[in-house]
Amino acid sequence: MTSNKKEFDYLIVGAGLFGSVFAHEAKKKGKKCLVIDKRNHLGGNVYCENVEDINVHKYGAHIFHTSDKRIWDYVNNLVEFNHYVNSPIANYNGELFNLPFNMNTFYQLWGVKTPEEAKNKIEEEIKELNITNPQNLEEQAISLVGKDIYFKLIKGYTEKQWGRKATDLPAFIIKRLPVRFTFDNNYFNDKYQGIPIGGYNKLVEALLDGVETMTDQDYFEDNEKWNAKAETVVFTGRIDEFYGFKYGKLNYRSLKFENQTLDTENFQGNAVVNYTDSETPYTRIIEHKHFEFGKQKKTVITKEYPQEWEEGKEPYYPVNDTLNNELFTKYKQLADQETNVIFGGRLAEYKYYDMHQIIGSALKKASDLI
């Protein structure tokens, strides 16, 4: 009698963090996995390209941060992390300010030296404008931090990010704006923060060690062939594409990256500089070597331009407005009926995730289902 057992326990579509963590956990439990990706590399959006001996974050800056000790220990058991702390600088028409909004920023804006002076200045601006029921993002932001911070450090950046006027964006996008009355430029409040020493490829290599992988493989070119290989499919791509866009396409914001290798050791003195005026077309410049305290003779910078997403561009940020969320709910109802397909990750769940959240989500799915 012949057995109908398939070659693999799991076919994992997508070699990003969700797929890689799931494969790692499945392998630990003695399961046989095949990980495929349509790109020519593993690692999804955390992939780094080596240019001039610098790890270039190919799909935008990735800074690992978490307050969850379990997740921090998990990644540090795989690779060693450095002590990089994200402290971006804002450039508004040539004036430089520290971010996030803290006592350094307030001193740079107004010359105030004490938390009380800074609080009074912000409260004075808020009171002056008397916005009681904010109708849009602009009014919401001004009612939280006043006009100076808003016009210099929020308005231009936000409008470029969303491709919309701040007065046309809903107020709920900015529920709160973190304001610190201490001289602290650490952007994240999380307890743990850093970058893998040697770049994120090291983390992905450690996760996928001993797992069979194939790149340049488009699942949709012959999904029946791929499905036949495994008992269960773990799908981390676009959920609407999985269902042949039967209800229509979900929308995203995309990004365009412009890289330059410069014949200088240090271009801007910081990994991240945000351009908060409206005239500069990009939102920020990343200087990659600073993520790993690099001393290379050259440097690589990336200008980041937000853009509308269309087919053929990378889908980065889900547009979680009412229309798209309702559309996603329809696809999720189909997904919930599947018996041998597991959906996970940013595109399959149509949800913005930080890296530690993706890892947490993959660990939970793996422990619940394997």
Residue 164 annotated as catalytic: no
Residue 284 annotated as catalytic: yes
Out of 139, 304, 331, 346, the active site residue is 304
Residue 5 tokens read as 């057992």
At 317, is the secondary structure helix, strand, or coil?
strand
Give the contacts of 337 (CB within 8 A, at least 6 positions apart).
Answer: none
Out of 95, 209, 326, 352, the active site residue is 352
Residue 189 tokens read as 């409040």
Residue 39 annotated as catalytic: no
Out of 117, 205, 231, 354, the active site residue is 354
Give the residue from 156, 160, 191 showing the smallest Cα distance to 73. Answer: 191
φ and ψ of 236, to 5 deg: -120, 10
Out of 176, 221, 263, 336, the active site residue is 176
CA dist 323 and 318 (Å) reads: 12
Residue 70 annotated as catalytic: no
Query: Which helix or strand (DSSP H or E) is residue 331 part of?
Result: helix 322-335
CA dist 62 and 84 (Å) reads: 11
Out of 148, 247, 253, 353, the active site residue is 253
Residue 53 annotated as catalytic: no
Out of 219, 284, 287, 346, the active site residue is 284
Which DSSP category does 169 fall into? S
Residue 346 annotated as catalytic: no
Out of 39, 180, 238, 346, the active site residue is 180
CA dist 212 and 22 (Å) reads: 13
At 356, is the secondary structure helix, strand, or coil?
helix
Residue 238 annotated as catalytic: no
Residue 203 tokens read as 């983390």
CA dist 208 and 196 (Å) reads: 16
Residues classed as catalytic: 176, 180, 253, 284, 304, 352, 354
